[in-house]
């Protein structure tokens, strides 16, 4: 099976370098018409980084065109809802449709939580979480009308598991999983499939915190391979896929089998039964909040055989 994207139109945010550039180049190489979005900012989201806004995006477009592909540059900020709408309009006005959205744009402003300025927290959430929501929201009517869409969010191990100095980044990244979990349900009837990539790669965001020997192994290509699968016709829906250095693994949020202590349970009851409450042997994922609610109602009483 060869995955192709002929006649598909894709938006990739933060595509002026790193993973986004890799995603854009690979989509174009397999036939997609790509909107390469990048503000051209520095790692913390300030300035332009390349001398002028959009310069990084234009360079990637030049690479795509030189290789025989089709692409257009866009320099709108995804952190602004009007900018996100303009980005989507770039795709639709230029190519007449929109099929794929890869939410990749992000910034870093790392500090320990006690030293973090509220503005630094908000800025990271604005780009990663709200930026992905803004772009996907602007794209949503077009995907619904076409009864087809593939959307990818970008989380990270910092969001899934935590990382010192990245409370803002981690909160935004796990928030994207929550966004996916609702959109996978709301988009299902229109064949809009929403998935999340959890990448590990050598980019501007990792080059200062990982040793060179590790960075050499963390090339973008394996992550891009996972992203292209997640936006293909046969993509799953609602999957979190970890990828890096040739490693691929599905990630799930699971809940223990749990027990029923009754609606008069006290904190002492919770403490006494904690080993059984925390027993993950029967852990399982849920596809929706309603499934989780069903578990609450049907959990066995304390002490019952599993």
- How many angstroms separate the CA atoms of 24 and 227, rounded? 11
Strand 240-244 relative to strand 192-199, pairing: parallel
Q: What are the E-state strand segments in the chain?
A: 9-13, 33-37, 70-74, 100-102, 149-154, 192-199, 240-244, 247-251, 254-255, 284-285
Residues 151, 103 contacting (CB under 8 angstroms): yes
- How many angstroms separate the CA atoms of 41 and 36, rounded? 14
- 244 shares its domain with 273: no
pLDDT at position 204 over 70:
no
- 261 shares its domain with 191: no
- 292 shares its domain with 180: no
pLDDT at position 174 over 80:
yes
Q: 297: pLDDT confidence band, cut at 50, 70 and 90?
A: confident
Task: Say what the pTM is.
Answer: 0.92
When divided into structural domains, the chain yields a total of 2
In the residue annotation, 95 being an active-site residue is answered as no
- 32 shares its domain with 43: yes
- Provide the total of helices (H) and of strands (E) in the chain, helices listed first: 12, 10
Q: Which residues contact 77 (CB under 8 A, 6 or more apart)?
A: 39, 83, 131
- 288 shares its domain with 226: no
Instruction: Out of 214, 230, 251, pick the residue that ends a domain.
Output: 251
Residue 131 has a pLDDT of 98
pLDDT at position 250 over 50:
yes
User: CA dist 291 to 115, 116, 220, 237, Å?
Assistant: 39, 37, 36, 17
Q: 299: pLDDT confidence band, cut at 50, 70 and 90?
A: confident
Q: Which domain holds residue 282?
A: 254-298
Would you say residue 193 lies in a domain? yes
Residue 40 has a pLDDT of 80
- How many angstroms separate the CA atoms of 56 and 218, rounded? 22
Find the catalytic residue in 142, 148, 169, 247.
169
Q: What is the pLDDT of residues 124-161, one digit of tens each?
A: 999 999 999 999 999 999 999 999 999 999 999 999 99
Residue 46 has a pLDDT of 61
- 189 shares its domain with 226: yes
The pLDDT of 228-252, averaged and rounded, is 96
Q: Which residues contact 305 (CB under 8 A, 6 or more apart)?
A: none
The pLDDT of 255-277, averaged and rounded, is 96
- 39 shares its domain with 161: yes
Least confident of 42-56, 182-196, 213-227, 240-254: 42-56
- How many angstroms separate the CA atoms of 248 and 74, rounded? 31
- 185 shares its domain with 237: yes
- 78 shares its domain with 127: yes
Ranges of H-type helices in 187-273: 212-215, 221-230, 267-272
CATH number, residue 75: 3.40.50.720
- 235 shares its domain with 271: no
- How many angstroms separate the CA atoms of 176 and 236, rounded? 17
Residues 118, 159 contacting (CB under 8 angstroms): no
- 206 shares its domain with 193: yes
Would you say residue 1 lies in a domain? no
Q: 217: pLDDT confidence band, cut at 50, 70 and 90?
A: confident
Q: What is the pLDDT of residues 7-56, one digit of tens each?
A: 999 999 999 999 999 999 999 999 999 999 998 866 655 654 433 456 99
Residues 187, 149 contacting (CB under 8 angstroms): yes
- 68 shares its domain with 189: yes
Strand 247-251 relative to strand 149-154, pairing: unpaired
pLDDT above 90 as % of the chain: 80
pLDDT at position 258 over 90:
yes
**Among candidate residues 115, 74, 114, the one with its CA nearest the CA of residue 93:** 74
Residue 301 has a pLDDT of 86
Would you say residue 3 lies in a domain? no
């Amino acid at each position: 099976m060869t995955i192709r994207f002929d006649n598909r139109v894709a938006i990739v945010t933060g595509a002026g370098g790193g993973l986004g550039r890799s995603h854009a180049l690979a989509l174009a190489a397999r036939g997609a018409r790509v909107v390469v979005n990048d503000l051209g900012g520095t790692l913390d989201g300030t300035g332009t980084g390349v001398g002028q806004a959009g310069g990084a995006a234009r360079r990637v477009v030049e690479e795509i065109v030189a290789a025989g592909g089709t692409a257009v540059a866009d320099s709108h900020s995804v952190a602004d809802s009007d900018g996100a709408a303009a980005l989507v309009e770039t795709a639709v006005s230029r190519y007449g449709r929109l099929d794929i959205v890869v939410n990749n744009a992000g910034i870093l402003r790392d500090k320990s939580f006690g030293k973090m300025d509220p503005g630094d927290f908000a800025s990271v959430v604005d780009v990663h979480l709200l930026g992905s929501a803004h772009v996907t929201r602007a794209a949503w009517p077009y995907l619904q009308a076409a009864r087809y869409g593939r959307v990818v969010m970008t989380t990270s191990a910092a969001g899934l598991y935590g990382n010192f100095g990245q409370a803002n980044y981690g909160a935004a990244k796990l928030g994207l999983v929550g966004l996916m979990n609702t959109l996978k349900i709301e988009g299902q009837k229109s064949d809009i499939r929403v998935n999340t990539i959890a990448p590990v790669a050598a980019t501007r965001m990792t080059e200062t915190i990982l040793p060179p020997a590790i960075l050499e192994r963390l090339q973008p290509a394996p992550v891009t391979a996972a992203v292209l699968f997640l936006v293909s016709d046969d993509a799953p829906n609602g999957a979190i896929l970890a990828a890096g250095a040739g490693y691929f693994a599905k990630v799930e949020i699971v809940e223990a089998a749990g027990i029923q202590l009754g609606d008069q349970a006290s904190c002492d009851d919770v403490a006494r039964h904690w080993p059984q409450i925390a027993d993950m042997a029967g852990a399982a994922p849920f596809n929706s909040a309603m499934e989780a609610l069903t578990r609450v109602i049907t959990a066995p009483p304390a002490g019952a055989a599993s």
